[in-house]
Chains A and B, each alone.
Chain A
Amino acid sequence: MQPLDTVAPSGLSSAIMSNHHHDDHHHGHHHDHDHSELSETELRVRALETILTQKGYVDPAALDVLIETYETKVGPRNGAQVVAKAWTDPAYRQRLLADGSAAIAELDYVGRQGEHIVVVENTPSRHNMVVCTLCSCYPWPVLGLPPVWYKSAPYRSRAVSDPRGVLHDFGFELSPETEIRVWDSTAEIRYLVLPMRPAGTDGWSAERLADLVTRDSMIGTGLPKQPHEVA
Chain B
Amino acid sequence: MDGAHDMGGVAGFGPVRPEPNEPVFHAEWERRAFAVTLAMAKPGGWNIDMSRFAREDRPPADYLSRSYYQIWLVGLERLMLERELLRPGEIEAGKVLRTPAPISGSLAAADVDAMLRRGGPTERETTTPARFKIGDRVRAKDIHPTTHTRLPQYVRGHVGVIELLHGCHVFPDTNAMGQGENPHWLYTVTFDGKDLWPDAADQRSRISVDAWEPYLEPADAA
Contacts and interface: CB of A to CB of B under 8 A. Distances in A.
B212 to A, nearest CB: 7
Given A66-B35, A66-B39, A189-B166, A162 B203 contact: yes
* 8 cross-chain pairs, A with B, having the tightest CB-CB distances, nearest first: A9-B65, A133-B8, A187-B210, A63-B35, A55-B100, A61-B109, A66-B35, A112-B119
A133 B196 CA distance: 15
Contacts of B77: 4-5, 48
A153 B70 contact: no
B24 interface: yes
B18 A170 contact: yes
Interface in B23-78: 24-29, 31-36, 38-40, 43, 48, 52, 55-56, 61-68, 70-71, 73-74, 76-77
B176 to A, nearest CB: 12
B16 A51 contact: no
Interface string B179-222: 00000001010000100110010111111111110000000000
A27 to B, nearest CB: 15
B122 A41 contact: no
B210 A57 contact: no
A148 interface: yes
B205 A180 contact: yes
A135 to B, nearest CB: 6
DSSP majority for the B interface?
Answer: mixed
Contacts of A166: 16
A47 B94 contact: yes
A16 B11 CA distance: 15
A90 interface: no
Contacts of A69: 112-113, 116
A52 interface: yes
A205 interface: no
Interface string A156-200: 111111111010011000001011111111111100000000000
Given A112-B117, A160-B196, A182-B206, 13 more contacts: A4-B74, A9-B65, A18-B17, A59-B106, A63-B35, A69-B116, A112-B120, A115-B122, A145-B24, A151-B68, A155-B16, A186-B151, A186-B209
